[in-house]
Chain A
Amino acid sequence: MSLNNLLSVKNLTVEFQTSEGIIRAVNNISFDIPQGKTIGIVGESGSGKSVTSLAVMGLLQKPAARIPSGEIYFNGQDLLKLNEQQMRAIRGNDISMIFQEPMTSLNPVFKVGEQISEALRVHKNLSKKEAWEKAVHLMNQVGIPNPSSSAHKYPHEMSGGQKQRVMIAMAISCDPKLLIADEPTTALDVTIQKQVLELLQKLQQEYKMSMMFITHDLGVIGDIADDVVVMYRSNVVEKNHAQTIFHSATHPYTKGLLACRPKLGANPRRLLTVSDFMTESGEEKIVPVERVQVFDKEQEVKSESQILLEVDQLVTQFPIKGGLFGRTVDHFKAVDGVSFKLKKGQTLGLVGESGCGKTTLGRSILRLVEPSAGKIIYDGKDITHVYHEELRQLRKKMQIIFQDPYSSLNPRMTITDILTEPLNIHKVGANKNERFDMARELIEKVGLKSNHMSRYPHEFSGGQRQRICIARALMLRPEFVICDESVSALDVSIQAQVLNLLLDLQQEFGLTYIFISHDLSVVNFIADEVGVMYAGKIIEMDKASRIYKNAKEEYTRSLLSAIPKGLARETRP
């Protein structure tokens, strides 16, 4: 162990006792965090990265979790040998932590000022007043506006980004030597993500802390990490300086992770995925040259086709209730006069941050939410005011894939039931067997095994569930599909696979897509045309191949600049 390592994890193994037996979540891993440096720990969900951080904090839930072997040296002291009381003196004081979910990680019934002062009072013995003043000072430092009044707010009165800033203020309050950040930006919008990353970087330098930054997205830590540790299936598969990782990764999994994130500008026709680089058993594969070849969308000429969907001055508003009897006192315009045209076989990408109205727009087009004004013309027919049977018939042609693969499948139905239900409703297929065959055909098309069709949704992973959702949407052979943040909840490596699948299916079935996302790089990859939404309006619309080069609106440019570059920063001297 070299002396300038603040934290040194040696041969750590963590196991969990579950009803299915013992599961090894972390397998004999070692890594170091040097004084004053940031290391990124990268891996997909279930790779063991969060468990590692909880082990360092001594926060693993005992007795379910066991550490059969390994040492965690912090300042030369093995944390695993400390008792709970000694560990408490370190937690929040020398080592502190920020979690992924700012929404639920703050106590809802205490003012944020109190929550920040708490650690100060415990570890630094400050008086209530001193601690409060320090808390206000910290809030100022993490960039919360009007800190002295904001300290009196409750968590629910703040935005997600602000809450994460409060978490950061809380974590740095006792001048920790090590800050652990577990996916601190995953739940945030891209522009907020960028601000939080910059803040963390700034604080790390000011406070001369070491930082352990955990993420599933290599791109995010490019700007911030000195060293990177890549975890895959409970093991560390590669660790090196960030620059080396980004420029000449050696492990195929790392290569796959680097390649799978769509880049602004030219990409290969289909995104590279981890499976292009390694086999299921972990052996390296040679990537065919044609897979890597990028193509420029601007060069591509799609055959001129007719307009399939036209949206004209669409408005969707929700009532705001108020007054004594809960009458509608005002309306909130979620979609405020949106117009566009979409050609057959093309993809329109809609980008915007949470609350911009993109989801409501998608649902209004499908008439899942009733629009208040404007026109939706589909295939030459005004569908704004069709009802009952006519609307039902429309559902055969227009479909939607939702964001959350966990809540969009009925947990009490098998995959067969889920897939054949649309056929039953529309009386497609002569009998049960025929319907089952149709479902089987499609489930294989989306890359799942047909012998899994009697299973229930919870037996599948997030990516697999999203494939099931895609299959369900395609059961009726629609012409037009809205993908509402359909890849946002997935790890980047899975995201690439699903995006590829969507493109393959588009080609095979001649689908027209509206692809809604908060991530411009994803939209840029998949869409032909991109609309940027802000406050219920489309503020800018252009060809996907052009918008990232010459965005006209300030807002679009800020979205663009917030996208992680996926490159390592220059190593500081």
Chain B
Amino acid sequence: MNKNSLWKDAFYRLAQDKLALISILIVFLYFFVALFSGLGWIASNWSQEVGASNLAPSFDHLLGTDIFGRSVLQKVIRGTQVAMSVGAAAALIAIPIGVILGALAGYFGGWIDDFVTWLYTTFSSVPNIMLLISITLILGKGIFSVYVALGATSWVNLCRLIRGEVLKHKEREYVQAAGAIGGGHMRKLFRHILPNVSHIVIINTSMQFQTAIKSEVILSYLGLGVQGEPSWGTMIDDAKLELVRGVWWQLAGATLAMFFILLAFNILGDALRDALDPKLKGK
């Protein structure tokens, strides 16, 4: 366990919150499903026919089969892999860019701040959906474009939040005290300020993750996402025509898979905010 009291405190608060615990379990479950699928341990034969086409859910095929007789459950699992990888990639791109730019801008101010502020104002001025579809359109369809597109949009909010927090903490007396004992800029920024704003990263990532998943589904639905592989978005796209014929399980499978992970991240995001945001303490 982290020795930092705030994290310890937060850990206990979360542990008391049953809903949050269940959400953490769901997130882990999805991660492992995605990981095992990525390693080829499960659902590696998703493209093989397992029965007749469009079989309704039954004991043999829990989520039924699609038009080519493939298992919908296996497709959902492959889709999980895509969704989780997109969420993780967006976070991995957004965190370093957002934190570093935001921290430098907030701490040093001056022209660095002017530049960073201009940069994120510019990026946030292009509506996210336009930026997402433009980037994927131009870089070519596929999962890599989706990573880049989500990376390009997801750092903006984190950067803005971190800048604002650093700006606030910079003036606190504990940072001045660090200066008074001879600490330099790097010590003040990395040892003192950043640990005090790190909860923003955690909360924001949990929120960002679900935005990424939702975006991936829409991009895939539009045919811009992953190619030749099932994703929740392409499954919903298939369902568009199937629904009229009463084939609802492909839509249900993808929607439910998405529902649980988004719900988990939503609850977790709220719980993390309650546990980590000192402003709310004691309420």
Contact = CB atoms under 8 A, between A and B. Distances in A.
A407 B182 contact: no
B177 A402 contact: yes
Given A412-B195, A456-B5, A407 B173 contact: yes
B200 interface: no
Contacts of A459: 5
B173 A411 contact: no
Given A412-B196, A456-B5, A407 B172 contact: yes
Contacts of B192: 410
A378 to B, nearest CB: 15
Range for the number of chain B residues in contact with chain A: 20 to 34
Interface size range on A against B: 20 to 34
A412 B181 contact: no
Nearest to B6: A412
A62 B174 CA distance: 35
Contact of A408 (B6, B174, B182, B187): B174
A407 B183 contact: no
A421 B175 CA distance: 13
Given A407-B174, A408-B174, A410-B192, A458 B5 contact: yes
Given A408-B173, A408-B174, A410-B196, A472 B4 contact: no
Given A425-B187, A458-B5, A368 B173 contact: no
Contacts of B176: 363, 368, 402, 408
A476 B5 CA distance: 26
Nearest to B172: A407
A24 interface: no
A516 B191 CA distance: 29
B163 to A, nearest CB: 18
A469 B4 CA distance: 20
B130 interface: no
Contacts of A404: 173
Main secondary structure of the interface of A (DSSP, over half): loop
A422 B195 contact: no
Contact of A476 (B3, B181, B183): B181
B241 interface: no
Given A402-B173, A407-B172, A407-B174, A412 B4 contact: yes
A413 to B, nearest CB: 8
B182 A400 contact: no
A447 to B, nearest CB: 20
Contacts of A426: 182
A368 B5 CA distance: 30
Interface in B171-199: 172-174, 176-184, 187, 191-192, 195-196
Contact of A409 (B6, B174, B278): B174
B178 A411 contact: no
Nearest to A454: B3
Interface stretch (A77-85, A162-170, A231-239, A391-399): A391-399
Contacts of A475: 181
Given A407-B173, A410-B174, A425-B187, A472 B196 contact: no
A272 interface: no
B247 to A, nearest CB: 51
A366 interface: yes
Contact of B180 (A399, A403, A414): A399
B13 to A, nearest CB: 9
A411 B196 contact: yes
Contact of B181 (A402, A409, A414, A472): A472
Nearest to A409: B174
A95 to B, nearest CB: 27
Contacts of A402: 173, 176-177
B174 A422 contact: no
A425 B191 CA distance: 12
Nearest to B5: A456
A455 B9 CA distance: 13
B4 A422 contact: no
Interface in A338-370: 363, 366, 368
Given A411-B6, A412-B6, A412-B195, A392 B174 contact: no
B6 A396 contact: no
Nearest to B194: A412
Contacts of B4: 412
B188 to A, nearest CB: 10
Nearest to B12: A19
A410 B3 CA distance: 15
Contacts of B172: 407-408
A458 B184 CA distance: 25
A421 B178 contact: yes
B180 A421 contact: no
Nearest to A396: B182
Given A395-B182, A408-B176, A421-B191, 12 more contacts: A363-B176, A368-B179, A396-B182, A402-B173, A408-B177, A409-B174, A412-B5, A412-B196, A421-B183, A425-B181, A459-B5, A469-B177
Interface of A: 363, 366, 368, 392, 395-396, 399-400, 402-404, 407-412, 414, 421-422, 425-426, 455-456, 458-459, 469, 472-473, 475-476
7 contacts: A368-B179, A392-B184, A407-B174, A412-B195, A422-B181, A459-B5, A472-B181
In order of increasing CB-CB distance, the 10 nearest A-B pairs are A408-B173, A395-B182, A422-B181, A456-B5, A402-B173, A412-B195, A410-B174, A392-B182, A407-B173, A425-B182
